[in-house]
Chain A
Amino acid sequence: AQKITQTQPGMFVQEKEAVTLDCTYDTSDPSYGLFWYKQPSSGEMIFLIYQGSYDQQNATEGRYSLNFQKARKSANLVISASQLGDSAMYFCAMREDNAGNMLTFGGGTRLMVKP
């Protein structure tokens, strides 16, 4: 079974609108971290935001917030006020406490921001 699932291969959003990118995960480890990365066409993977399994509040970093619903095993990324520069591939990833240095990635969502 896939550990990280991103069900939206591609999405469009109008500039200045908010957009939600979906991520569901599967783990039996009670201790885990969830990460979102942005990958523009240039190739660099840019770390955006982190949520730990024991964190009580949803993580926020500027225009990025993580909608963490632990019971549903979902960790959706919300980007507010989309900008043209947000057009990129977005990857959700998980690190389980019992998996050492292993980071498991989802298949990614390509976001395209329309002017």
Chain B
Amino acid sequence: DTEVTQTPKHLVMGMTNKKSLKCEQHMGHRAMYWYKQKAKKPPELMFVYSYEKLSINESVPSRFSPECPNSSLLNLHLHALQPEDSALYLCASSQQITGFTDTQYFGPGTRLTVL
């Protein structure tokens, strides 16, 4: 089973709202990722958690706040977003195998619209 789930599928929020995106995997993977994808572009890495610790933060604005409560869950807390933050947000997970063979498996994404 290579399933990563994400909720909600769609989210519309105002610039003053606070919302959260959720991601879950039950494959025993120890690395989890957040990506942002704009239309007709490849995904851009935002954050990486490895063994529940933040290992990569790609200079993401502080209005995006990741959280990894346990090895199966990954949240992305959103606050005071801008319209340009509207995008598809993808979660992924991988086994965290040392080296270059570690395959990332993606969830279905959350389509976020900021009004």
Write the nearest CB–CB distance from A8 to chain B, whole angstroms.
14
Q: How many positions in chain A have a CB within 8 Å of any CB in the partner chain?
A: 26
Report how far A103 CA is from B102 CA in the complex, Å: 10
Report how far A53 CA is from B99 CA in the complex, Å: 12
Contact of A106 among B33, B42, B105, B111 (CB under 8 A): B42
Using an 8 Å CB-CB cutoff, how does the interface string of A42-62 with B read, 1 for contact, 0 for none? 111111001011000000000
Name 28 A/B residue pairs within 8 A (Cβ), A-sorted.
Answer: A35-B103, A35-B104, A42-B108, A43-B88, A43-B90, A43-B109, A43-B111, A44-B108, A45-B43, A45-B90, A45-B106, A45-B109, A46-B106, A47-B103, A47-B104, A47-B106, A52-B100, A52-B101, A91-B42, A95-B102, A100-B55, A100-B56, A101-B31, A101-B94, A101-B102, A107-B42, A108-B40, A108-B42
